[in-house]
Structure 1
């Protein structure tokens, strides 16, 4: 029996239906392979286990024949392969559980594989959006927040700008067509910020003093 963890969402990626006048401009997920490579540091992990295998080979090459020295280093390669496979699974699951939404009023980020949360980031609370292009046509858009707004780094990870822990910058990580999405965000934010916001207030009661 199939089960969709997000079937209770009235609109995919959003905890409730958008209010009148709000329009969804774009929705997308991270590229899972790019997310694994970039956010989970696959090159560093692979390099670490290659270093261990090479170090083991050099350490025992003077004590045993060449074939046995190679065999002594193979377990490090196998262990490294298992770790990389696990990280790829984590990256795939994280990407599948994520859905970024760009509207004409905000950016919404449904993130988290085990504990799912949805971040609502109105354009009026964003200071900037920085685009960083990656390989394979993907890119990351990091969002800086205005004022005293604070988000937990670990809660948002890996959908954050790396190592910005003091003031977390939530990020649309490893998305396809990043330049197109960045232009959509820039145009929508510009239009939203320059549009006058009308707030409804209760009419003031006038006090008339009798002479």
Structure 2
């Protein structure tokens, strides 16, 4: 039995209301999470530089100590990324986007599509990607409550995001279509989108 066995619908806090249905459901890729959110490359380079410097000076004790510390640190990053991947469920319905997040304390965050101002895709090299969301008049969401499902270093007005989503291009297209049903895109913006010009995913002003 897991902590999520109480969910009436996987990834959701309750049964879907009449007229609402799931369009897409997915999570994060732990490898992409480790590299894009936890910046594990920088940690590896940091420890390698220190070890190389210590070896150059002939300080084997420091080199071994830093190697051990670096291994533990990187291991913890990987373990955390795996935990985030295991516990995260993103759900897109025809009315809202739900983020079920939290490794130690799980929570569900409901983002109505009619409160979505923009959603912008940043594709990663492996085909996964981050979809950053900008909300309109909803109350502010705490950065620490959202992290790592939040745009980095946006503390004043945190922006939730779908982090390290596999096949992000497909997910962004589904999100655009669902948002368009709730907030019809203006003809002028539709023309720009068809010309592949850069506009917010939701077709709404930023």
Give the TM-score normalised by structure 1.
0.83
Runs of 5+ unmatched residues, structure 2: 185-206
Counterpart of 1:154 in structure 2 is 144
Alpha-carbon separation, structure 2, partners of 1:192 and 1:12: 24
| CA-to-aligned-CA distance 1:22-43 (integer Å, 9 cap, x gap) | 1101110100111011111101
Instruction: Spell out structure 1 runs of 4+ moving beyond 6 A.
Output: none
Larger Rg: 1
How far the C-alpha of 1:4 sits from its partner, in A, is: 1.1
Alpha-carbon separation, structure 2, partners of 1:121 and 1:71: 52
Q: Does 1:188 align with 2:186?
A: no
Q: 1:75 aligns with which of 55, 65, 84?
A: 65
Give the TM-score normalised by structure 2.
0.85
Q: 2:103 aligns with which of 113, 120, 125?
A: 113
Cα RMSD after superposing both structures = 1.5
Q: How many residues align?
A: 185
Q: How does 1:1-211 map to 2 (within 5 A)?
A: 3-58=1-56, 60-61=57-58, 69-70=59-60, 72-147=62-137, 149-194=139-184
SS of equivalent to 1:135: coil
Runs of 5+ unmatched residues, structure 1: 62-68, 195-211
